[in-house]
């Protein structure tokens, strides 16, 4: 039985990924902030062949992550694949960014991934291995004015993924990074993001979900360490 744990699962890339994995026969562990969206998605995907367990966890709250995940995984499903998808953005000059917003962004985009991995890695080790996929951005490789904090968090996430891969290789745990160009998701509607990009030219959440499934479907003896998916028109 293959089980996937997806963070940020209630909307956008997370919800699309949940649908792709459910269609492929996976059992689902879905994590997101408590919301009717998460409940609706779970109800949509539950079936005789697809078990769905959810946890309403605010990944911006570091104290809730470990206990919430341990409770979720105590219900009879142990993940073999982990998709760290949850994240956020903030736009504006670095020199004017409030410190609390800096801490909030790094908690969501970097530290929460560290905490999820610290909680789940012992389970993967005990099971003889597994796959962790961290969703990153081409902003990890380039500097974009007004997106400095986001670029910083994603660059650190890419480095974290490489280090984790080296440390866990001997335990049979594979680590992939999915590096994305702009994706048309609710992130662009966030109060903390100001942009005027043409969202019609962006990648779709469904395309990303299918790519994450591709990474998960690799044989256990191989791993795609870093896959980059960009809109055909190029970087935004």
Say how far residue 189 (Cα) sits from the centre of its chain: 19
Instruction: Decide if 150 is catalytic.
Output: yes
Q: How many residues does the chain have?
A: 236
Determine whether 59 is exposed, middle or buried from the number of CB atoms within 10 Å of its CB (0-12, 13-18, 19+): buried
Residues 142, 182 contacting (CB under 8 angstroms): no
Strand order in the sheet with 130-137: 52-56, 27-32, 3-7, 81-84, 130-137, 173-180, 226-229
Phi, psi of 173 (to 5 degrees): -100, 120
The catalytic position among 150, 160, 161, 179 is: 150
Question: For residue 129, which of 220, 10, 6, 229 has the smallest C-alpha distance?
Answer: 220
Residues marked active site are found at: 150
């Amino acid at each position: 039985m293959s089980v996937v744990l997806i963070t940020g699962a209630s909307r956008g890339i997370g919800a699309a990924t949940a649908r792709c994995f459910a269609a492929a026969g996976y059992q689902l562990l879905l994590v997101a902030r408590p919301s009717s969206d998460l409940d609706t998605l779970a109800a949509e995907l539950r079936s005789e062949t697809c078990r769905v367990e959810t946890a309403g966890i605010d990944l911006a709250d570091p104290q809730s992550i470990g206990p919430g995940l341990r409770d979720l995984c105590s219900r009879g499903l142990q993940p073999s694949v982990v998709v760290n998808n949850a994240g956020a953005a903030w736009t504006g000059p670095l020199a004017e960014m409030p410190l609390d917003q800096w801490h909030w962004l790094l908690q969501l985009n970097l530290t929460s991934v560290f905490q999820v991995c610290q909680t789940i890695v012992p389970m993967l080790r005990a099971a003889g291995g597994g796959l962790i996929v961290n969703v990153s951005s081409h902003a990890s490789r380039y500097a974009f004015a007004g997106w400095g904090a986001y670029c910083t968090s994603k660059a650190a996430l890419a480095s974290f993924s490489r280090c984790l891969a080296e440390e866990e290789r001997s335990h049979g745990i594979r680590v992939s990074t999915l590096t994305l160009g702009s994706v048309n998701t609710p992130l662009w509607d966030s109060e903390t993001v100001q942009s005027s990009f043409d969202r019609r030219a962006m990648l779709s959440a469904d395309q990303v979900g299918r790519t994450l499934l591709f990474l998960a479907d690799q044989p256990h003896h191989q791993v795609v360490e870093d896959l980059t998916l960009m809109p055909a028109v190029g970087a935004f």
